[in-house]
Structure 1
Amino acid sequence: MKKSIPGTENVVMEIRDMQIFLAVANEGSITRAAEKLEYVQSSISIRIQQLENELHTVLFIRQRQGVQLTTSGQIFKSYAEKILALTQEAVQVVSDRSTPQGPLRIGCLETTAAIRLPNILADYHPSYPEVDLTLKTGTTDELTKLVLKFELDGAFVAGPVEHEELETTVIGYEELVIVSGGQHLSVEQMEELQHQTLLVFRIGCSYRQKYEDWLNAKGLRPAKIMEFGTVDGILGCVHAGLGISLLPRSVVERANAHYKLHIHQLTESAFNTETLFIRRKDSYVTPAVSELIRIATEKFNG
């Protein structure tokens, strides 16, 4: 008689169980997970309870305003993410007909999405209509974490990015410049920068970190920092004279058609920054990914 591995006799979880578990974990709420998956809330609760019974552990702490992962839940989440990523990869590999197709989850910086990505997708989408591409914008730190957690197949971020589990491809370079609303400003007179409000993306933005590191190295600090979620929000407030920002020259030059902006060039090599495409080293490079990298590199440097 065949013997089962001790402790696994009653474990019959399905891929869908892990998808439900991850939806609840990521949403922090059974109600929101049910809405996202278009399931009845009671069904989600039953599946989670069955999963906990099979694993002989509590995965979530139930609270009035939602749920929170237990230690066991956090451990199981990391495995569930890997299992689902490998499952999707297996489907892609066995069905790979060398033509880009299927789902492709890509991350992108706000600035890259505003200026570079439209030209890239204008070539990519008509050429490969069978690719179901979804896009998420965020900071370099946010996108890097999502790639590591298998939630994105890859992302366009600002370099440098160094992680033993990631492979990076240089797509092109961006020159970062200080942008003001047309008022007189001297980069050589550093004390002027110290009195300016810095308009930036949230923490995790590599451009913001470069600027703050640069000022710190000179013993200076910005008078005030205002955080924004979009490029247009930053540019509009710079135009209105509320402060200055550090942005790619390509973004500022394009925006000059709508805003009154002034570019202040920086001579330090640190402000000539790489745009990278990052992905997990252990992930399968699908035709959809390889073609996106190829087209992005051509468009970026064309």
Structure 2
Amino acid sequence: MSINRIAFYHLETLLWIARLGTFAAAAARLNTTQPAISARVRELESHLGTALFRREGRTMALTPAGRELVRESEPLWTRFQGVLMGCSDISGATGIVRIGAGEIAAASCLPGFVAQLGRDLPHVSLEVDIALTADLIQQLASGHADLAFAAGRIAHPMLRTAPIGNVDLLWLASPAAVATMAATRPPIWSLTNLSPLYRIMKDAIAASDLADCPLNLCNNVRTMIDIVLEGGGIGIFPRPMARQQLAEGRLVPVPGAPLMPPVDFHVAVRAAEADPLVLAIFDRASRLELRSEDGI
């Protein structure tokens, strides 16, 4: 057994394959190629003198020896990362951090947060993915994302969350649409049931004087804003995403529309996350304070 030939990147590769499930996903996470990942595994197996993976159909599964090595190496690798992080200023940290966000969360809190991270961690590369909340939870739980920002409560046994404030939802329409509301029943635009805000919006519509208006659904807030700006009906929008149109008078509040509760926002990380850099960014994110009156 050639233990002296085992490098830290061998163990890092093994642990990411175990976490993400495929060589291809580990290659993407480590910013390398799948052949390079396969070569590292072969080297590690050669040095240890035992197989760590076996092929099961189109996938690779850990052997008993591989599972044992992962179990024993993970806490050592985490401790080693912590030692390195403790010996240096976090501003010198390197790596790739993947951040997921829902569309509303991205507009409400992500730009300033990501910009500040770039200034404070100049050697860390960020990959930002805008997706539906259900997809964000899956990506985070599977290790394909490191942190996630989302509207609504995130409930998952594998995740740890922190509240970061709330944002107002407003009933808005173009001035022309408001002027004709007494004579017409304009359609109302709401997010689809794939959004955690769908139920909030639907309940608010049902309790309003506009319950008999046609209900149109869309999974993209920006598109809904554009439609309403063209006089295509009434929309329920988060204040941060419509702030400019409100200031310019191109969108106005709908008279008599019921008040809606502010939307809570959360940041999430894997409960078992041990990477010091990811935990430091999560800690920073958990101190964000969104305010319902302005969303900043």
**TM-score for the superposition, normalised by structure 2:** 0.64
Alpha-carbon distance, 1:170 to partner: 1.4
Show the counterpart of 2:171.
178
Which of 40, 55, 58 in structure 1 is aligned with 2:56?
58
Aligned length: 253
Structure 2 unmatched ranges of 5 or more: 1-12, 43-50, 62-66
**2:189/2:224 contact within 8 Å kept:** no
Q: Indicate whether 1:108 and 2:106 are aligned.
A: no
Amino acid in structure 1 at the alignment position of 2:84: S
Identity of aligned residues (%): 18
Show the counterpart of 2:117.
124
Alpha-carbon distance, 1:261 to partner: 1.0
Structure 2 residue matching 1:160: 3-state secondary structure: coil
- Counterparts of 1:219-258 in structure 2, within 5 Å, are 223-229=214-220, 231-256=221-246
Q: Structure 1 residues 213 and 22 mapped into 2: Cα distance closer, same or farther (>3 Å)?
A: farther
Which of 84, 95, 98 in structure 1 is aligned with 2:84?
95
**2:151/2:266 contact within 8 Å kept:** yes
**TM-score for the superposition, normalised by structure 1:** 0.63
Distance 1:249 1:37 in 2: 41
Structure 2 residue matching 1:152: 3-state secondary structure: coil
Amino acid in structure 1 at the alignment position of 2:171: I
**1:155/1:278 contact within 8 Å kept:** yes
Amino acid in structure 2 at the alignment position of 1:293: S
Distance 2:201 2:76 in 1: 41
Q: Structure 1 residues 239 and 85 mapped into 2: Cα distance closer, same or farther (>3 Å)?
A: farther
- Counterparts of 1:16-55 in structure 2, within 5 Å, are 22=22, 38=33
Distance 1:156 1:171 in 2: 9
Moved more, 258-267 or 82-91: 82-91
Q: CA RMSD in A?
A: 4.6
Alpha-carbon distance, 1:108 to partner: 1.6
Structure 1 residue matching 2:178: 3-state secondary structure: coil
Structure 2 residue matching 1:256: 3-state secondary structure: helix
- Counterparts of 1:187-226 in structure 2, within 5 Å, are 192=185, 196-200=187-191, 203-215=193-205, 223-226=214-217
**1:199/1:238 contact within 8 Å kept:** no
Q: Structure 1 residues 288 and 21 mapped into 2: Cα distance closer, same or farther (>3 Å)?
A: closer
**1:142/1:204 contact within 8 Å kept:** no
Alpha-carbon distance, 1:279 to partner: 1.6
**1:174/1:248 contact within 8 Å kept:** yes
Moved more, 260-269 or 124-133: 260-269
Q: Structure 1 residues 233 and 121 mapped into 2: Cα distance closer, same or farther (>3 Å)?
A: same
Structure 2 residue matching 1:242: 3-state secondary structure: coil
Alpha-carbon distance, 1:211 to partner: 0.9
